[in-house]
Structure 1
Amino acid sequence: MIEIRAKGIRFGFDARTGLLDGFTVEDEGHEIALLHRAPWVGTEEIMPPGTPPHLMTLGGDFFCAPFAGSQEGSPLHGWTANSPWDMVEHEAGRLRARLQRTVCGATVTKELEVEDGHVWVYQRHVFAGGSGRIAVSNHANVSLPRGGLISCSPKSAWETPPAPPEVDSARGRSGLRYPSRSTAPDRFPGIDGSVDLSRFPWNPRHEDVVIAIEGREHSLGWTAVARPVERDLFLSLRNARRLPMTIFWHSNGGRDYPPWSSRHFGCLGVEESAAAALRSRSSENDLSGPGALTLVRDEEAEVRHAIGAISWPSGERVEDIRVVDRAIEVCGGRGGFRRLAFRTHFLD
């Protein structure tokens, strides 16, 4: 594990899979570490044959390309989450690494940076060359052992994929209807009535995926997950025009087979994505819809994203996040407010 740090912020980089692990922020006198780690990670447990590398180290934050299904025989979430990375540059607050494999013919470089006094990990993934359209996603995993409140920038619709994560009831169960669509996340169609997707958990034992499609009227895409008991807040920022959807993975004891074994609870995947996994499309891997990154030979394409963590004493739900001058302002529904230093042109 390679450590990257600046004043008040640090994380580890696992070059085996490109995992950002141990993300910790010191804010207002508190040490905040709110990313998930699966119960089998760091143990001597033997994994089932064929377990993909990203699942062996599940947690933290990792980059997916191709996201979800594979276009070139890679494991789930692509080689960027399942193949080693070679270090190109490493300083105290910055690293550059290059994926050992190509993705759709492209060379992929990862850049991760932190800065003194900033609560953010600035992430940039650059694809050089290649061809075709590819689904991509930044896959943060938030730890919610005692629940959370989920807020995000305005969405035009919320959808479930054509089929649930586990179609065999002997392997797992879901609480949402597949496929379904709603414009109201707090009244989403569930198996036993409407479900409030703005809260976690909403079911004692389930595995579900829901896709939130960004509204077209703004450029800053954001997700905020408040942990009222811990009194802290997870933040995710992106350019909404380049990553036009957020996919929420609710993993709460809904899978029964190894390594899940009915023990993987309290994990919310916040997957900021460019893809076309819409119910209205013919399949989850159809890339003809909004999003999807275009790769062109002899050209570069990039994906930028930032995650952050702060103290949030009120535990209230976030109502709005906005860019003001060289800062991000976080506004709560009951008056909570934080102003945070940010590289405001990073997401342009």
Structure 2
Amino acid sequence: MTKTEPAPAALTAAGVSLSFRPRGGVLCELIVQDEGASISPLHRAPWAEAEVPADAPPHQRWLQGDFLAAPMGPGPDGLHGPAANGDWALLPSGPGTLRAVLDQPVLGASVVKELSVEDGHPFVYQRHLFIGGVGALPLANHAMIALPGGAKLSFSRKRWFETLPEALEPDPARGRSALAYPRRSEDPTEFPGADGGTVNLLRYPWGSRHEDFVTAVEDPASRLGWTAVVRPDQRDLILSLKNPAALPMTMLWHSNGGRDYAPWNGRHLGCLGVEEGAALPVLGLSAKETPDPLSAAGQPPLVTLDPLGTTEIRHILGAISWPSGQAVAGVMLEGDRLTVTGDWGAERQLPIRGGWLGLASSTAASAPRAAPSGWDI
């Protein structure tokens, strides 16, 4: 018998609101009111739950918004693990905060999700607590950005960009992947394509009808990790912020009509996953090296649990009006103020919880330098 799905919960502050879906632990329907604009950045799949085949990963039935993938990728508990496919029970919470606990353990750890918003801040502050547990796991937030009219991407400084061990869709009878696998490149504007040419990963879309996954690895010198997605047609900008010392990888899922089988049926268009995490197995070349290049640089390749304590992962997701359409050239955090600068001089100063990511009080980041089988998302 199918369990009754718990009712969604709402979280609201002045200028920002969201819904939380307990099944799958999904942050959805994020809306930011900024400079007279109402910004809805998150993607939602175009199918009804009844259209999803019975053998598909459960989270595909409600695919939308942002959820936690833990463990990330294929595994014995299904693609993206219990965190993405299980139920989360709401806990007592204070004003501006929503808390929930996962109904099953992850590597023996109890998992608590906390979402919080603040009046006048165009962000949702997100953290996950792993209480106890034994071992290390690949993990990522799984935000999906809606890009019906394309986007310009910018990042904090990255060491390189790298694809999975093999293409997401290697069978032309089922779909198409347009990047080369496995490959890596220091230049995101000239990443190897499957056809022998190159593509510019700082633009979306860069091809038609394709399904691809590529990961950017943070420079160890970065103190603030950031991803900026400018939607010129929407006149806005989506920001993803993290502590790169905890989450050194930014995984980009390009889902743009590249799957022809149910429930995708060639209609899942304009979706960009911006997945901040630590998940060495998605690196098709680096995961095979000993030592792997993340560990060699002192960066965590996985999230290691503490059997006698709590492991905490934090992330900030937000959106602002950005009518210039300029690509982002820099993001700087000074105290409780975040400054975003465009490549032609546009600038916004935003209120933020400056210490929330666990960074130093003054953090600057400049513009970037000029999977195992079974993955189904």
Structure 1 unmatched runs, 5+? none
Report the Cα distance in structure 2 between the residues aligned to 1:297 and 1:34, rounded to whole angstroms.
Answer: 37
CA contact (8 A) 1:171 1:255 kept: yes
Whether 1:307 and 2:317 are equivalent positions in the alignment is yes
Match of 2:272 in 1: 268
Which of 174, 178, 183 is the matching residue for 1:175?
A: 178
Q: How does 1:56-135 map to 2 (within 5 A)?
A: 56-70=61-75, 73-135=76-138
Match of 1:280 in 2: 286
Whether 1:145 and 2:148 are equivalent positions in the alignment is yes
- After superposition, give the CA deviation of every residue in 1:88-109 in whole Å (9 maximum; x if it has no partner): 1244521111000000000000
- After superposition, give the CA deviation of every residue in 1:26-45 in whole Å (9 maximum; x if it has no partner): 000110001100001xx364
Which of 302, 326, 345 is the matching residue for 2:336?
A: 326
Distance 1:177 1:29, change over 3 A: same
CA contact (8 A) 1:275 1:287 kept: no
Report the Cα distance in structure 2 between the residues aligned to 1:297 and 1:326, rounded to whole angstroms.
Answer: 34
Identity of aligned residues (%): 49
- After superposition, give the CA deviation of every residue in 1:131-184 in whole Å (9 maximum; x if it has no partner): 011111011100000100011101001111110112222111111100111100
Match of 2:236 in 1: 232
CA contact (8 A) 2:49 2:61 kept: no
Instruction: Give the superposition deviation at 1:78.
Output: 1.2
Of Structure 1 and Structure 2, the greater strand share is in: 1
Structure 2 unmatched runs, 5+? 1-7, 359-377
Whether 1:249 and 2:259 are equivalent positions in the alignment is no
CA contact (8 A) 1:327 1:340 kept: yes
Of Structure 1 and Structure 2, the greater helix share is in: 2
- What secondary structure is seen at the aligned counterpart in 1 of 2:83? helix
Report the Cα distance in structure 1 between the residues aligned to 2:211 and 2:337, rounded to whole angstroms.
Answer: 36
Report the Cα distance in structure 2 between the residues aligned to 1:128 and 1:3, rounded to whole angstroms.
Answer: 25
Match of 1:205 in 2: 209
Report the Cα distance in structure 1 between the residues aligned to 2:55 and 2:293, rounded to whole angstroms.
Answer: 27
- What secondary structure is seen at the aligned counterpart in 1 of 2:189? helix
Which of 130, 135, 155 is the matching residue for 2:158?
A: 155
Match of 1:194 in 2: 198
CA contact (8 A) 2:52 2:60 kept: no
Report the Cα distance in structure 2 between the residues aligned to 1:56 and 1:268, rounded to whole angstroms.
Answer: 18
Match of 1:341 in 2: 351
Distance 1:288 1:231, change over 3 A: closer
Match of 1:36 in 2: 43
Which of 59, 73, 76 is the matching residue for 1:54?
A: 59
CA contact (8 A) 2:228 2:237 kept: yes
CA contact (8 A) 2:230 2:327 kept: yes
Report the Cα distance in structure 2 between the residues aligned to 1:130 and 1:339, rounded to whole angstroms.
Answer: 40
Distance 1:345 1:175, change over 3 A: same
Distance 1:159 1:96, change over 3 A: same
Distance 1:219 1:169, change over 3 A: same
Report the Cα distance in structure 1 between the residues aligned to 2:235 and 2:294, rounded to whole angstroms.
Answer: 41
CA contact (8 A) 2:214 2:253 kept: yes
Match of 2:188 in 1: 185
Report the Cα distance in structure 2 between the residues aligned to 1:288 and 1:77, rounded to whole angstroms.
Answer: 22
Instruction: Give the superposition deviation at 1:280.
Output: 2.4
Report the Cα distance in structure 2 between the residues aligned to 1:91 and 1:16, rounded to whole angstroms.
Answer: 22
Report the Cα distance in structure 2 between the residues aligned to 1:343 and 1:200, rounded to whole angstroms.
Answer: 30
Instruction: Give the superposition deviation at 1:46.
Output: 2.9
Instruction: Give the superposition deviation at 1:69.
Output: 2.5
Report the Cα distance in structure 2 between the residues aligned to 1:303 and 1:153, rounded to whole angstroms.
Answer: 19
CA contact (8 A) 1:135 1:287 kept: no
The one-letter code matched in structure 2 to 1:58 is L
Report the Cα distance in structure 2 between the residues aligned to 1:229 and 1:275, rounded to whole angstroms.
Answer: 33
- What secondary structure is seen at the aligned counterpart in 1 of 2:142? strand
Match of 1:220 in 2: 224
Whether 1:16 and 2:55 are equivalent positions in the alignment is no
Distance 1:107 1:318, change over 3 A: same
The one-letter code matched in structure 2 to 1:235 is L
Q: How many residues align?
A: 342
TM norm structure 1:
0.95
CA contact (8 A) 2:51 2:262 kept: no
Report the Cα distance in structure 1 between the residues aligned to 2:245 and 2:308, rounded to whole angstroms.
Answer: 24
Report the Cα distance in structure 1 between the residues aligned to 2:133 and 2:29, rounded to whole angstroms.
Answer: 32
The one-letter code matched in structure 2 to 1:29 is G
Report the Cα distance in structure 2 between the residues aligned to 1:156 and 1:149, rounded to whole angstroms.
Answer: 20
